[in-house]
Amino acid sequence: MPQPVIRASNLVKKYKDFAAVGGIDFEIAPGESFGFLGPNGAGKSTTMRMIGAVSTRTGGELEILGLDPDKYGPEVRSQLGVVPQQDNLDVDLRVRDNLIVYGRYFGLPTRTIAPRADELLGFAQLSDRAKARVEDLSGGMKRRLTIARALINDPKILLLDEPTTGLDPQARHILWDRLFRLKEQGTTLVLTTHYMDEAEQLCDRLVVVDKGSIMAEGSPADLIRRFSSREVLEVRFGGGRNEEVASQLGGIGDRHEVLPDRILVYSQDGEAELSRIHQLGLKPITSLVRRSSLEDVFLRLTGRSLIE
């Protein structure tokens, strides 16, 4: 692996006695697209804020582009683009001015920023809204503007905290497309998400975090291979019978899991398992064979109950 652009070892962030991030290790290579996947409160945003040099760590080591963010805050931040979980666009400024003013915060001269702002407005499909007020933009437009703003300093690393949460499918696909282009241009992407499809689409490699610790690390395909089976068979027996039926399913599939409304059978070959279930004389009301997804991995690793 080439020299990593971000290196964390035993990274800890405590709020009073509570460890929001409890000693995590990861390395991110230049040009890589790296994801943090985890349930609410896992510590994703906290980690992103430490990487973004706006939160000082409680313990461990952290290096961004070879610099310690606690010592070289402004230098580190000048190389980063940040898309926070909640938009914090400047509502007193017009759309294009949001980019110009933000560029000036980095100490860049207007002659550098102005052409770049126009280019980014095009990139974010907001050229025709350049003079609009921020309040008048839709949620998806605001998100795209936030991403455009994060690119005004031509960052080496782009940090995206839940970039597409709250957007409709069209808006998400537009955003994914834009992020994909950035990745192709060699920008390192670090993102957090709750969406498995997003992680599968965008991440070369990801870590699943829960309660401040890393549960697993790998590429999406790799994680599915390690923590789930190739296929999942979903069968429903209806009306509280699932529990009872499940006890007869010993030996079917690699393992199975009983949910209130259905049973999941993890297997290499879902159809084969289904015919074995039929052979047992069991008649599911509905059945479905699908490929295993990152969601199965996620739920296996972080559990099905709400953590909070």
Partner 1 sequence: MSVAAQPAAASSKVLGDLYARNAKSVMWRGYTATKTNTYLVIVSGFFEPVFYLLSMGIGLGALVGTVATTTGQEVPYAAFIAPALLAVSAMNGAVYDSTWNVFFKMNYAKLYEGMLATSLGPLDVALGEISLALARGALYAAGFMAVMQALGLNLAWSAILALPAVVLIAFGFAAVGMAITSYLKTFQQMDWINFFMLPMFLFSATFYPITVYPEPIQWIVQALPLWHGVELVRGLTTGALSTALLGHALYYVVMIAVGLVVTTRRLRHVFLD
Ligand X SMILES: Nc1ncnc2c1ncn2[C@@H]1O[C@H](COP(=O)(O)OP(=O)(O)OP(=O)(O)O)[C@@H](O)[C@H]1O
Contacts to partner 1 by CB under 8 A: 52, 54-56, 71-75, 77-80, 82, 84, 86, 88-94, 97, 100-102, 104-109, 112, 153-155
Q: What are phi and psi of 190, to 5 degrees?
A: -125, 120
What six digits make up the tokens of 128? 């025709």
User: CB of 170: closest distance to ligand X in angstroms?
Assistant: 23
Binding residues with ligand X: total (CB under 6 A) = 11
Residue 115 contacts by C-beta under 8 Å, 6 or more apart in sequence? none
Q: What are phi and psi of 299, to 5 degrees?
A: -70, -35
Query: Binding residue for ligand X (CB under 6 A) from 11, 44, 149, 160?
Result: 44
CB 13 within 8 A of CB 19: yes
Q: Pick between residue 45 and residue 188 the one whose CB is nearest to Mg ion.
A: 45
H, E, C per residue of 53-116: CCCCCCEEEEEECCECCCCCHHHHHCCEEEECCCCCCCCCCEHHHHHHHHHHHCCCCHHHHHHH
- In a 10 Å sphere around its CB, with 0-12 CB exposed, 13-18 middle and 19+ buried, how is residue 188 labelled? buried
Residue 3 binding target from ligand X, Mg ion, partner 1, none, CB below 5 to 8 Å by type: none
Q: Pick between residue 135 and residue 184 the one whose CB is nearest to partner 1.
A: 135
User: CB of 42: closest distance to Mg ion in angstroms?
Assistant: 8
Q: Pick between residue 46 and residue 229 the one whose CB is nearest to partner 1.
A: 46
Query: Binding residue for ligand X (CB under 6 A) from 4, 35, 43, 155?
Result: 43
Q: Does residue 146 interact with ligand X by CB under 6 A?
A: no
User: CB of 284: closest distance to ligand X in angstroms?
Assistant: 35
Rounded distance between C-alpha atoms, residue 192 and residue 208, angstroms:
10
Q: Pick between residue 1 and residue 306 the one whose CB is nearest to ligand X.
A: 306
What six digits make up the tokens of 80? 């980063």
20-39: which residues touch ligand X (CB under 6 A)? 20, 38
User: CB of 69: closest distance to ligand X in angstroms?
Assistant: 16
The full length of the chain comes to 308
- 79, 155, 268, 295 from 152: Cα distances, Å: 11, 8, 47, 34
Q: Pick between residue 101 and residue 114 the one whose CB is nearest to partner 1.
A: 101
User: CB of 143: closest distance to partner 1 in angstroms?
Assistant: 14
81-110: which residues touch ligand X (CB under 6 A)? 85
CB 235 within 8 A of CB 287: yes
Q: Pick between residue 46 and residue 302 the one whose CB is nearest to ligand X.
A: 46
User: CB of 63: closest distance to partner 1 in angstroms?
Assistant: 16
Residues of this chain that bind ligand X (CB under 6 A): 15, 20, 38, 40-46, 85
